[in-house]
């Protein structure tokens, strides 16, 4: 796990620069680690965003681009000075291009313990249709 961890940290440090524009907030932006799996009915996206809460996470689906934005609400303690530092606090942003058509009305988002879980149901026409072959 640790080696895998290290590789991801590097990726996390990179700032997002899609279409060359910059974010308005001058704060470190991380690419959150994500899992994606797909079943016949749904596409499920899980995103690790420690420090974000359900009110500061923003999800948009425009055409087939899913964008997840999270603003960390983590507060540094008052009257303390930093002695040792391993992680940085920042915001999260990541976009995915979805290959299937999504039923927008059925999208479900759950935020729990710093993890966002998105269940995106596939639109009826994108579902795999099984064609039964009849023997004559």
Partner 1 sequence: MYKTFRTPSIWREMDRLQRDMNRLFNQRSSSHLRVAPSYPAINTWANEDGLFVSAEMPGVSTQDIDISVTGNTLVITGERGADDIPEDARIHRKERGYGKFSRSIQLPFSVDAEKVEASFKNGVLNILLPQVEAEKPKKIAIKN
Binding residues for partner 1, rule: CB under 8 A, are: 1-2, 4-6, 8-10, 13, 33-40, 44, 46, 48-53, 73-74, 76-77, 79-88, 113-115
Taking the complex as a whole, the smallest distance from the CB of residue 36 to partner 1 amounts, in Å, to 4
60, 106, 39, 114: CA torsion to nearest 10: 50
Residue 5, both tokens: 């961890």
* Exposure string over 12-38, b if 16+ CB within 10 A, otherwise e: beeeeeeeeeeeeeeeebbbbbeeeee
Is 58 in a helix, a strand, or coil?
strand
Query: Whose Cβ is closer to partner 1: residue 31's or residue 136's?
Result: 31
Residue whose CB is less far from partner 1, 37 or 62 = 37
For the bound state, the minimum distance from the C-beta of residue 40 to partner 1, rounded and expressed in Å, comes to 7
Query: Shortest approach of partner 1 to residue 90 CB, angstroms?
Result: 12
What is d(CA 23, CA 114) in angstroms, rounded to the nearest whole number? 22
Question: Which lies closer to partner 1 via its Cβ, residue 128 or residue 135?
Answer: 128
Q: How far is the CB of 121 from partner 1 (least distance, A)?
A: 14
């Amino acid at each position: 796990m640790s080696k895998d961890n290290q590789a991801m940290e590097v990726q996390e440090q990179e700032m997002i620069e899609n279409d060359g524009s910059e974010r308005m907030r001058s704060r470190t932006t991380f690419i959150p680690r994500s899992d994606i799996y797909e079943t016949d009915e749904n596409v499920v996206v899980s995103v690790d965003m420690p420090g974000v809460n359900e009110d500061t996470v923003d999800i948009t689906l425009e055409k087939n681009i899913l964008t997840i934005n999270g603003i960390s609400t983590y507060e540094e303690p008052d009257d303390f000075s930093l002695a040792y530092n391993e992680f940085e606090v920042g915001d999260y942003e990541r976009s995915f291009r979805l290959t299937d058509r999504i039923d927008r009305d059925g999208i479900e988002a759950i935020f729990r313990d710093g993890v966002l879980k998105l269940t995106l149901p596939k639109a009826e026409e994108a579902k795999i249709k099984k064609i039964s072959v009849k023997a004559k």
